[in-house]
Amino acid sequence: MTPADPRVLGGIEILGRLGKGGMGVVYAGRTDDDSLVAVKTLHIGGLEQSDLRERFERESTALGMVQGPGVAALVDSGQDADEIPWLALEYVPGLDLSTYLKRHDPLDEVTGTALGLVLANALTDIHTAGLLHRDLKPANVMLGPDGPKVVDFGLVAIGGAGGDLTHTNMRLGTPRFMAPEQFTAPTSVGVGADVYALGALLVFATSGQYLYGGTSPEALGFAAANPVIEPNLSGVPVGLSLLVAELLAFKPEDRPSLADVRAQLTEQLAAAHLSPAAARVRLAERTYVPGTGLTDEVPPAKRHAPVTRVETVGRSSTVGSEAGKRVGLAARTAERLRKAYARPAA
């Protein structure tokens, strides 16, 4: 913590820094009911502030729309123009998948299959909410004690193919995990791009290798957008190789639906005598690393009265902690959606 870091945001006590990225700082925080949260903030100022604030607002709105055990839940957010924009997420102790794979061997076939099913279920929940993630990668998968959870909706699209992208040819995503169409036709990207990213992630998780050599976005984009260049699937377990190859089909329409992916992965786990629930437990046991989260370091806070001040759209109210969070969050989300995505009157 530096003198410039906030000590409280929206009634959440800031405990320390978890990391810093291009958009802002991520803090560890504690709510009035002693729940630990990850608090993302946005840098204020700079030439790109308008675009960054729009992306931040989109992430907050999207997180309020999606629910599921494989997605880190939104707890609360604050978007006042006069304050630091912030959003508080469910805190997931443990390592992200990228860090885990730097310290441990790639996942075996059964564990990789379980990971694929959890992420396919998470993507299904995301798509059902009318969203595209567009940046599924190892660093955005947290390996918690209850199983993996997808985080970081900073590049999310709302509203189907192309979503709410500005009508430019801006390429959004992480090149090593981007589908060919994200390089060649970014304004028409659909759910197939998330399916492709799932395949690329499973290749890395089970083999420790990327699809293509090279490090520059240009080299990676050239390889991904060239149907003649085959992705490197060596090292992928035999039982997953065929499905992964289907996920990485060059044309989006040739990739399987998430429903088919989930069915195939469930069948493979059944052959290993594991139900989806048992597979998730096994996956958590294999990938969660204790001692890497705040739950092992931060002592319980002094108990406060179970009251939280909830900032709602256009007014403030003081209500019970849990109920207040839900009411305030629902009100803000509904208002954002009404303003940003409602069709204008004829």
Residue with tokens 């803000």, as numbered in its chain: 332
Among positive and negative, which fits the CA dihedral 173, 174, 178, 181?
positive
| Distance, CA of 113 to CA of 290 (rounded, Å) | 23
Phi and psi at residue 146, in whole multiples of 5°?
A: -105, 10
Give the CA dihedral 239, 243, 245, 247, nearest 10 degrees: -150
Residues composing the chain: 346
Domain 95-287 sits in which CATH superfamily?
Transferase(Phosphotransferase) domain 1 (1.10.510.10)
**213-259 pLDDT per residue, tens:** 888 888 998 999 899 999 999 999 999 999 999 999 999 999 999 99
Q: State how far the Cα of 211 lies from the Cα of 160, in Å rounded to an integer.
A: 27
Provide Rg for the chain, Cα atoms. Answer: 20
Q: Which two tokens stand for residue 83?
A: 């304050």
> How much is the pLDDT for 202?
98
In three-state secondary structure terms, 143 is strand
**158's tokens:** 């709302």
Tell me the pLDDT tens digit for each residue of 56-72: 777 777 777 888 899 98
Q: What is the mean pLDDT of each run of 10 residues along the chain (346 residues)?
A: 88 89 84 90 63 74 83 81 79 94 96 98 92 90 95 70 47 84 87 96 97 88 91 95 97 97 98 96 95 57 37 32 43 44 39
Please indicate whether residue 135 is annotated as part of the active site. yes
CA distance 296 to 244: 37
> Which CATH number is 8-92+293-341 given?
3.30.200.20
pTM higher than 0.95 for the full model? no
Counting Cβ atoms within 10 Å, is residue 167 exposed (0-12), middle (13-18) or buried (19+)? exposed
Instruction: Give the pLDDT of residue 243.
Output: 97
The one catalytic residue in 135, 146, 254, 296 is 135
Going from N- to C-terminal start, the domains of the chain cover 8-92+293-341, 95-287
